Amino acid sequence: MATPTLLLLLLFLASAVLIQANVTYDGKSVIINGRRRILLSGSIHYPRSTPDMWDGLIQKAKDGGLDVVDTYVFWNVHEPSPGNYNFEGKYDLVRFLKAVQGAGLYAHLRIGPYVCAEWNFGGFPVWLKFVPGISFRTDNQPFKDAMQRFTEKIVQMMKSERLFASQGGPIILSQIENEYGQEVKALGAAGRAYVDWAAKMAVGLDTGVPWVMCKEDDAPDPVINACNGFYCDYFSPNKPYKPTLWTEAWTGWFTEFGGPIHQRPVEDLAFAVVRFIQKGGSFVNYYMYHGGTNFGRSTGGPFITTSYDYDAPIDEFGLIREPKYSHLKEFHKAIKQCEPAMLSSNPTVTSLGTYEQAHVFSSRQGGCAAFLTNYNPKSTAHVSFGNRRYTLPPWSASILPDCRNEAFNTAKVGARPSQVQMLPTNTPILSWDTYNEDILFLEEGSSMTAIGLLEQVNLTRDNTDYLWYITSVDIDSSESFLRGGRKPTLFVQSAGHVLHVFLNGQISGSAFGTREKRELTFNSPINLRAGTNKIALLSSTFGLPNDGLHYETWKTGVQGPVVLDGLNHGKMDLTWQKWSYQVGLKGESMNLISPDDVSSINWIPSSLAASGRQSLSWHKAYFDAPRGNDPLALDMRSMGKGQAWINGQSIGRYWMSYASGDCEPCSYSGTYRAPKCQYGCGQPTQRYYHVPRSWLRPTKNLLVVLEELGGDTSGISILRRSWAS
């Protein structure tokens, strides 16, 4: 007779076996424990929120009808230096996946480790660039060695925590590489060899779940190739025995400073998903379901905003966005009603008119489901199907789970738009103090010197946005411009991204690149004087590039030429004279953002600071945590450009860059291009910056702002994001 202890052990072992999942696939779908599934997924990136937000975000995903949570794995935050790993706080990948599991959802783990994702350096740690002989994402042994080490590290961590479905965990799919299609075409044989190697390496890790490659048409067996895009109904896997997966159904688009805000109507998004599913698609992942925030210096691009809202069903602050959230929720219910018929039969396609079709699924068990589509973007259609009449709005589909009754139409939105607004908290920000960077006394020769101009990231290793290029020019008192003539002009060519020019300690102007054109030119008159003049060029990055062929070789910083024009003897080329270099700002080296060290710094009270907007200055103040639980934000409209920290944690880069572009109401092209829906022109691209409540103490929270251009700190306020009453 078994003892009670033995019975408990046997029950435990039995339950452990029961929760393990066998995940395979066929030409219809992913198969979990012998059952084909239509899987609805949403991207939630753990570093773009905070751990206290995770449970709420994941529960909203579940309540919205999702089966799966999708996330990339961000190599650069996990291995900031070779062999030194960080999985703490918002980088606690295991905790995030266990929260997914706790909610009863599956996970798709996109290890990459290249992620793109508008993330700094595409998710690669910058130290990788300096590995001898390395060349990214090609048949290069140093790169493959580093990539394999990190991939194995993540897989082993997942295995040790029993997080793969084959062990009873939530992970049913994993991705290796990411959006490699264009690279493999450009690299030819080396690209092909690399894809084959990556697939073989991943499969050899024996995770017990299928591997995916998105936007890689030639993904080697058994890896599944998948689609990313606004529409994917044109897509088919490269083998008939692979399922049709959509790894990124774009819910909106990212935002860049100086550009408008992008929207994607939920009517178009739902219609796109119907078009995909009715042609055999069985896995759809919304990118993003919650976009979140690019905290710290995590933005890529460059010039991607700190907000990564993406017009997602859950907004940057974690609030539901209507009508997108509820319309998709009802849509998902209708899709699930069709699942049995869809996964047991192939569709019969019938024309209902010039722009109208019916896709009908009939199972052997008698089940039936139909999708009636109207591809005309402008005109309503009235169609006959099964001896009934149906009205199909323009650019829409009706779902009939029983082939008779309409359960859902993609264009008929019942939910009201969100009435969410930014409201004052009446929380005072007290006692602003200032610390000015001392430009005049930047020490030439005290740091590294060189003849000529050096590349920025080679010096900074991306540990800071800032690099000083310092030189001097001697001006003879006989120069004609000193006697009232036209001022000489300084011309500086830079590979980007931002340049501030100082002459003898005073700002002379700034120049900015863009995401599309990182390179910039400064070309402006300057106030030289007789004698020695100190020229200090502050080059600033705004997120390193995250995509492009061999983007690790792209240059950043002042590349030259640097030329003075308008002197008696014409032009003076400064490019190849001696330059001194200083990495970072003095305030950074003094750790001005630290709550522990801030009292030891000689801050100047605002009342005693120089009047006017001071460029390149640090400001600090204190505030108490606002009451309530509403998400919080800083309103930075009175400022220029810089960075901000709360209690030593970075809320990200800010910039009051005003949006320009082609803002217009939504219009549909009737093609695979997304509808054009942009707004915000004439306003700051981003005015509000998310402040996680978990970063706050009840009282005396330290706010530190680094302002590059000059701003009015008295205009900064703390707001709460709330539903309108």
Which residues in the chain land under pLDDT 70?
1-19, 443-446, 597-599, 609-613, 668-674, 725
If we measure between CA atoms, which residue out of 141, 37, 34, 125 comes closest to residue 79?
125
Q: Distance between alpha carbon 334 and the CA centroid of its chain, in Å?
A: 31
Instruction: Please pick, among 216, 248, 267, 588, the residue that the annotation labels catalytic.
Output: 248
Task: Enumerate the CATH 3.20.20.80 domain ranges in the chain, comma separated.
Answer: 18-321
The neighbouring-strand residues paired with 718 are 634
* Residue carrying structure tokens 């430009």: 439
Task: Enumerate the CATH 2.60.40 domain ranges in the chain, comma separated.
Answer: 344-417
545 and 420 Cβ atoms separated by less than 8 Å: no
In single-letter form, the type of residue at position 332 comes to H
Instruction: Please pick, among 79, 118, 177, 179, the residue that the annotation labels catalytic.
Output: 179
211 and 249 Cβ atoms separated by less than 8 Å: no
If we measure between CA atoms, which residue out of 34, 41, 45, 90 comes closest to residue 64?
41
Q: Which of the listed CATH numbers 2.60.120, 3.30.70, 3.40.50, 1.25.40 matches domain 420-435+591-723?
A: 2.60.120
Which 3 state secondary structure label does DSSP give 596?
coil
Q: Which of the listed CATH numbers 2.60.40.10, 3.40.980.10, 3.40.50.970, 2.60.120.260 matches domain 438-584?
A: 2.60.120.260
Q: Where are the alpha helices (DSSP H) in 227-310?
A: 266-277
Would residue 179 show up in a list of annotated catalytic residues for this protein? yes
Would residue 437 show up in a list of annotated catalytic residues for this protein? no
Q: Which residues contact 149 (CB under 8 A, 6 or more apart)?
A: none
116 and 45 Cβ atoms separated by less than 8 Å: no
CA distances from 131 to 78, 120, 142, 268, 392 (A): 18, 18, 7, 45, 58
* Residue carrying structure tokens 């995903």: 61
pLDDT in tens, 522-565: 999 999 999 999 999 999 999 999 999 999 999 999 999 999 99
pLDDT at 483: 79
If we measure between CA atoms, which residue out of 111, 517, 76, 51 comes closest to residue 296?
76
The pair of structure tokens assigned to 124 is: 């690669």
In single-letter form, the type of residue at position 384 comes to S
The DSSP code for 412 is -
The dotted CATH code for 18-321 is 3.20.20.80
Separation CA 375–CA 272 (nearest Å): 11
pLDDT at 606: 77
41 and 67 Cβ atoms separated by less than 8 Å: yes
The pair of structure tokens assigned to 545 is: 């590039």
Question: Is CATH 2.60.40 what the domain over 344-417 is classified as, yes or no?
Answer: yes
Task: Enumerate the CATH 2.60.120.260 domain ranges in the chain, comma separated.
Answer: 438-584
Where do the DSSP E strands lie in 200-312? Answer: 211-214, 224-229, 244-250, 261-262, 281-290
Separation CA 461–CA 465 (nearest Å): 10
The DSSP code for 120 is G
Q: Order the strands of the 430-436 sheet from edge to edge.
A: 604-605, 430-436, 617-623, 701-707, 641-646, 649-655
If we measure between CA atoms, which residue out of 590, 594, 689, 580 comes closest to residue 643?
689
242 and 212 Cβ atoms separated by less than 8 Å: no
Separation CA 119–CA 134 (nearest Å): 21
Separation CA 706–CA 436 (nearest Å): 10
Peptide bond into 377 cis (omega under 30): no
Separation CA 511–CA 499 (nearest Å): 5
For CA atoms 718, 719, 721, 725, the dihedral sign is: positive
